[in-house]
Structure 1
Amino acid sequence: MLSSKAKFIPTSGSYPAGYSVGSTACGIKKSGLDLMVLKSTLPANAAGMFTMNKFKAAPVVVCKEILESTKGKGIQGIVVNSGCANAVTGKDGLRDANKMIDLVGRPSLVMSTGVIGQLLPMNKIEKGIETIQLGQNHDDWLNAAKAICTTDTFPKLVSKSFKVGSTVYNVAGMAKGAGMIHPNMATMLSFFVTDAPVHPTALKSILKYAVDRSFNAISVDGDMSTNDTILALANGAAGGDLITEDSEAFHTLKLIIADFAKQLAQLVVRDGEGATKFVTISVTDAKSFEDAKQVASTVARSPLVKTALNGEDANWGRILCAVGYSEVDSVIPEKTSVSFVPADGSPELKLLVNGEPQTIDEEEASRILSFEDLNIRISLGIPGGATAEYYTCDFSHDYIAINADYRS
């Protein structure tokens, strides 16, 4: 696994006003924190994006219903459990998801993660929600991030302050995910909350823009979960004018949240099960953002590419093979170029230029591939064209071992 994982655990943070969080170990998992609750002191506006898997987990179904019925207004909080996904659990699962919301306060939102096909131990969850202690300091937020983890090796928590006009706002978010990660929504759960006043329609637009460039631009193993969910809450506790899609502040906030979401999404990839490499696939000079992203996604989820990177083998033919079957019509072999970009800032190593293979310095290739952070750059040959990035990791022997023993 990535040797630098531990450094991503935050030791402090700047957290938004009007929210309190708490966590507890109620026995859903064999050990450790497994339940968290977030409450907003003010009714919050909300938006969400969810898995495209047809077997949507009960909390996904319930969340979508609540956001639709409330039009994203008046949300009181979020409750999340780990250790049991409450997925493929039929009517009982829907009943349990709704019960969790009732215990926290309706309307709230709910997420679950863990083993599929098992019912939640509701007696344990009910007792946990009733006794959970909420707070607003860094340790409260960090423990909440730990409580939503399953096979994660570190909690994923990010917070920051930002200024829109003359008003200072804060945003905090957390994510869980290390395996079963692939869009559309990349088992991944995440949410962010801000004290900025954002209209639900604007918040939904901001969330989609951010997710397209972050959580829907990552892949660990190509498996789309039944539970993937990302939520956004905005309670306006910091004051200021309501931000709508017509506001001058809308574009600024959209870029800030997109960057914030990218940080969280990259942490998910860095914690990929068994991962030893963090890989950025950069596609440039494409006909459109959609084309660039499709090519990058295809390369990112190729098992042959991922295993070659784990073995630090400069087998660039596997990259070209994936580009070729990406089903992007604008890919023209004679215009395609591929290179490795070293993490230490030294010159890129060109592998293919306008469809012509280059003489490769194998020692330099091995040196580049020895870094934990790798960047594969692919140009589709349209000068000044669109660009997209995708984030993935390698496949190692540990990935098989982790998932072979998951339920035990």
Structure 2
Amino acid sequence: MAQQGQFTVVENGSITTPKGFRAGGLHCGLKKTKRNDLGVIVCEVPAAAAGVYTLNAFQAAPLKVTQESVAAEGKLQVMLVNSGNANACTGQQGEDDARTMRAEAAKAFGVPDHYVGVTSTGVIGELLKMDRVVPGIEGLPAVVSADEEGGEQFSQAILTTDLVKKVVCVELTVDGKTVHIAGAAKGSGMIHPNMATMLGFMTTDAAISSANLQKLLNRSTDMTFNMITVDGDTSTNDMVVTMASGLAGNEPLDAEHADWAAFATAFQYVGEYLAKAIARDGEGATKLIEVTVANAASEDAARAIAKTVIGSSLVKSACFGADANWGRIIAAVGRAGVPVNVDTVDIRLGDISVLEQSRPVPFDDPKATEYLKGELVQIHVNLNMGGATATAWGCDLTYDYVRINAAYRT
């Protein structure tokens, strides 16, 4: 285990590490390969639930169904996901299919329909092959388990163009009880702040109400998942869902609880870890880019500028080419739509200062080029206007990104 302040990162932890959770996955035939394409998380008790969803106007049918389920009691017991087909822009048939998936999962695991959430990821505009999905759902109870293998099979089931799984687990002490928070996510392309082709699943055994879990998820998402971009495209299907079993035995957490701050910090760490893993695994990416905007007039301004810089195709291309062209960064700062003092901006690439008080300074170009060739590029923008700070994450824009997306359906 690795200590991180008030919490510890659990090595080989998974979405099933918190008490009460099982998971699994299988291949039902939605993908052309034999990789898992249907997965599920199951809690042994109705879990407090919270979710955040894409802001794309064309919200996919499964998201609507999941929101209906959570709205009923603020609880979920089963979270079902398929990859290989987004079930988006599929009209009434798509909604009917999403509700059929919910009903079949409820029957398979012996819970009410409204205790089931559903989500999908993959190609937009194609109807689900329900003759494959339904038998797959019927087979899920036989493959779920509470061990690491169950989490592994689930993590495989949610992938599309991802190259790696994104999984993390932490533990901390609340009221003297050991509490776990775990997460699994998928996402590689069509990623942009305010959600994207990204699915995130978080589990915890902490006792916390749905309302307090929702507040925590909203705040954490604004600082993590909503601060990443790969390509500027916001998808139809994205969501992050959190389930809390309450089986750790702590007193219910709220903002007045003595351990609330520690729990919130650990919760945000899980979200940030997954968000950065998604950015690092961007389609065709060779490096993670981190943009920190400091001393802004407000947090909103800092976030807007950080997201504009990280989303700039020119900045991303310059990082790919290891070109220390700070002009692309300052141009992005200036078009972020928030007031800036054009005479006080400092910019650094790692520890290499390239701009001070909005004026270029001499720097070692070969050293900067070598720095930009690394797997992590940190861009620091100091506005010298106030005390607010924000960080955003993304990746470089490469030839492979175009190749992958030019042939996505084939």
TM over 0.5: yes
Aligned to 2:233: 223
Contiguous gaps of at least 5 residues in structure 1: 1-9, 342-347
Aligned to 1:5: none
Aligned to 1:288: 298
Alignment of 1:340 onto 2:349: yes
Aligned to 1:38: 41
Aligned to 2:68: 65
Contact 1:201 1:245 in 2 (8 A): no
CA drift of 1:251 comes to 2.4
Q: State the Cα deviation string for residues 40-78 of structure 1 (Å, max 9, x = none).
A: 1011010000000000000111112222222x13x2110
Contact 2:183 2:202 in 1 (8 A): yes
Q: State the Cα deviation string for residues 101-159 of structure 1 (Å, max 9, x = none).
A: 11122221111000000111111111111112110111110111111000000111111
Percent sequence identity over aligned pairs: 40
Contiguous gaps of at least 5 residues in structure 2: 1-9, 107-112
Instruction: Trace 1:109-258 onto structure 2 (pairs within 5 A).
Output: 109-132=117-140, 133-258=143-268
Aligned to 1:3: none
Which of 21, 27, 46 aligns to 1:25? It is: 27
Aligned to 1:97: 98
Structure 2 Cα separation of the partners of residues 373 and 312 of structure 1? 12
Alignment of 1:79 onto 2:80: yes
What is the DSSP-based 3-state SS (H/G/I as helix, E as strand, rest coil) of the residue aligned with 1:268?
Answer: helix
Contact 1:142 1:157 in 2 (8 A): no
Structure 1 Cα separation of the partners of residues 182 and 246 of structure 2? 14
Aligned to 1:391: 393
Aligned to 1:381: 384
Structure 1 Cα separation of the partners of residues 237 and 123 of structure 2? 11
Structure 1 Cα separation of the partners of residues 390 and 158 of structure 2? 30
| Aligned Cα root-mean-square deviation (Å) | 1.2
TM-score of the two chains, using structure 1 as the length reference:
0.93
User: What amino acid sits opposite 2:26 in the alignment?
Assistant: T
Is the deviation greater in 355-364 or in 21-30? 355-364
Structure 2 Cα separation of the partners of residues 277 and 333 of structure 1? 30
CA drift of 1:11 comes to 7.3
Structure 2 Cα separation of the partners of residues 137 and 332 of structure 1? 54
Contact 2:24 2:152 in 1 (8 A): no
Structure 1 Cα separation of the partners of residues 324 and 347 of structure 2? 12
Aligned to 1:345: none
Contact 1:202 1:250 in 2 (8 A): no
Structure 2 Cα separation of the partners of residues 68 and 135 of structure 1? 28
Structure 1 Cα separation of the partners of residues 104 and 179 of structure 2? 30
Q: State the Cα deviation string for residues 154-211 of structure 1 (Å, max 9, x = none).
A: 1111112221231111122100000000121131001101111111111001101111
Contact 1:186 1:215 in 2 (8 A): no
Structure 1 Cα separation of the partners of residues 225 and 254 of structure 2? 23
User: What amino acid sits opposite 1:140 in the alignment?
Assistant: G
TM-score of the two chains, using structure 2 as the length reference:
0.93
Instruction: Trace 1:264-275 onto structure 2 (pairs within 5 A).
Output: 264-275=274-285
Is the deviation greater in 205-214 or in 239-248? 239-248
User: What amino acid sits opposite 1:128 in the alignment?
Assistant: G
Alignment of 1:401 onto 2:403: yes
What is the DSSP-based 3-state SS (H/G/I as helix, E as strand, rest coil) of the residue aligned with 2:81?
Answer: strand
User: What amino acid sits opposite 1:207 in the alignment?
Assistant: L
Alignment of 1:13 onto 2:18: no
What is the DSSP-based 3-state SS (H/G/I as helix, E as strand, rest coil) of the residue aligned with 2:284?
Answer: coil
Paired residues in the alignment total 389
Contact 2:345 2:383 in 1 (8 A): yes
Structure 2 Cα separation of the partners of residues 164 and 386 of structure 1? 30
Contact 2:181 2:266 in 1 (8 A): no
Structure 2 Cα separation of the partners of residues 359 and 69 of structure 1? 61
Q: 1:252 to 1:11 in 2, by over 3 A?
A: closer
